[in-house]
Amino acid sequence: MKTLIVDALKLEDLSPDDIDAAEPLFGDTGLGLDSIDALELGVAIRKTFGIKIDTVTEDVRHHFASIDNLAAFIRAQQGNAQE
């Protein structure tokens, strides 16, 4: 997931090891991503994992809050697709 974020968002100043999986992805703390980054990340996740991401809701904001949350969301979506 960290590699996907670095590659998809072209974060040349960071390596995957520089990112704490629990830190916030958006806002003034943590990674500091913005809304454009969120769109690009959503596209990369859809292409890479083949999952559907609904329009922006509080649930989606929660899922995109950190790498840990995103990974749990992707695992859950993949599990739902297999059922």
Six-digit token pair at 11?
Answer: 């974060």
Q: Which amino acid is at 63?
A: H
Distance CA 15, CA 79 (A): 29
Chain segment 54-81, per-residue pLDDT in tens: 777 888 889 999 999 999 999 998 887 6
* Alpha carbons 17 and 5: distance in angstroms, whole number: 12
Predicted local confidence at residue 59, as pLDDT? 86
- The count of other CB atoms within 10 Å of the CB of residue 38 is 18
The token duo for 73 is 């969301």
Q: What's the pLDDT tens digit per position in 2-54?
A: 999 999 999 999 999 999 999 999 988 889 999 899 999 999 999 999 998 87
Quote the pLDDT of residue 81: 62
